A = this chain, B = another copy of it.
């Protein structure tokens, strides 16, 4: 299964995540941008994820909401910078529970021999913001997402 490597060096306000998928790049890109697919894998399993906005183009906004079983909602949104393509996506990211704390994500997708490597660099305004993101339980969400996108990509290729 895909297992994301998470790197967060002391004093540097970034998180670098790398992951490899047993799927071609175009399919991985679809999983990252098609709302119907995103809702099937992004975030912890016990949350219902809804994509409320997803204007995948330069300057377009995206927004998604995670809701738990009791209906508590957590919203996230941002803006795409540059036209997203299977080569990669640059977008900003803001958790609506902490307005003003914005990070920027640079996703790069590279394909080798039918497998795809995804590398995400998240750049934060401060090391404190980066550390807050890590201590929010990010790692468990990433782990669940890993399992779920792996299952999704397998299903899509079996179709």
Contact = CB atoms under 8 A, between A and B. Distances in A.
A99 B85 CA distance: 13
Report whether over half of chain A's contact residues are helix, strand or loop; otherwise say mixed: strand
A90 B61 contact: no
A50 interface: no
Specify how many copies of this chain sit in the oligomer: 2
A91 to B, nearest CB: 9
B90 A81 contact: no
A125 interface: yes
A100 interface: yes
B79 A104 contact: no
A81 B90 CA distance: 15
24 contacts: A12-B12, A12-B13, A13-B13, A13-B123, A59-B61, A78-B81, A79-B81, A79-B92, A81-B92, A81-B94, A81-B100, A82-B94, A82-B99, A82-B102, A90-B102, A90-B125, A92-B92, A102-B106, A103-B104, A104-B104, A104-B123, A121-B125, A121-B126, A123-B124
Interface of A: 11-14, 59, 61, 78-79, 81-82, 90, 92, 94, 99-100, 102-104, 106, 121, 123-126
Given A79-B81, A90-B100, A121-B126, 6 more contacts: A13-B123, A59-B61, A78-B81, A102-B104, A104-B104, A123-B123
